[in-house]
């Protein structure tokens, strides 16, 4: 059985992320979407909120599992018995960083391979940062994130405006 991890912060999950999830779950027997709890960053959504949104978005994909993690990706991959790490690439600038990370991960865990999937062209410009900015100004999110995520973003932004 081929098990893969698709890690990220998913703050929030976008159609670009979902595209990689859909394509990955066709390649592997089980896809574990690892939601990173990065203590160095100040995310808009808590890890629990991000996990909840991803579970909603992927509820119709039977071979996808959502799990939070912190620490090293290779430690998480080893803990869940994953053979592969899947990373999405939007642009050449992503490749430089991802190549360095995959080579480092291979040194730390030679038994875990990295597969790069290029994001579909219609999502190549899309990032969670861009989505958060659009949401902050009340823009239309429908072409960037699933409706369940858009609803959570609107709620979060309304709460932030009141504070």
Catalytic residue numbers, as ranges: 17, 41, 90, 128
Distance from C-alpha of 119 to C-alpha of 141, rounded to nearest angstrom: 19
Instruction: Phi first, then psi: give them for residue 153, nearest 5 degrees.
Output: -65, -45
Q: How many angstroms separate the CA atoms of 28 and 1, rounded?
A: 8
Indicate the Cα dihedral angle 106, 111, 114, 115, nearest 10°.
150
Would you say 89 and 77 are in contact if contact means Cβ atoms under 8 Å apart? no
Q: Is 105 in a helix, a strand, or coil?
A: helix
- Axis crossing angle, helix 147-162 with helix 128-136, rounded to the nearest 10: 50
């Amino acid at each position: 059985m081929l098990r893969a991890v698709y890690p990220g912060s998913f703050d929030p999950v976008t159609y670009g992320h979902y595209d990689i999830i859909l394509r990955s779950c066709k390649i592997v027997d089980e896809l574990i979407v690892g939601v990173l709890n990065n203590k160095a960053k100040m995310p808009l959504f808590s890890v629990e909120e991000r996990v909840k949104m991803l579970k909603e978005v992927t509820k119709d994909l039977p071979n996808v599992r959502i799990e939070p993690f912190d620490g090293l990706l290779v430690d998480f991959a080893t803990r869940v018995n994953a053979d592969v790490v899947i990373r999405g690439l939007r642009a050449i600038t992503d490749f430089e960083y991802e190549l360095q990370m995959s080579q480092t991960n291979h040194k730390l865990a030679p038994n875990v391979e990295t597969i790069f999937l290029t994001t579909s062209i219609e999502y190549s410009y899309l990032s969670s940062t861009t989505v958060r900015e659009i949401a902050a100004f009340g823009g239309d999110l429908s072409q960037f994130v699933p409706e369940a995520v858009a609803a959570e973003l609107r709620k979060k932004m309304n709460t932030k405006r009141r504070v």
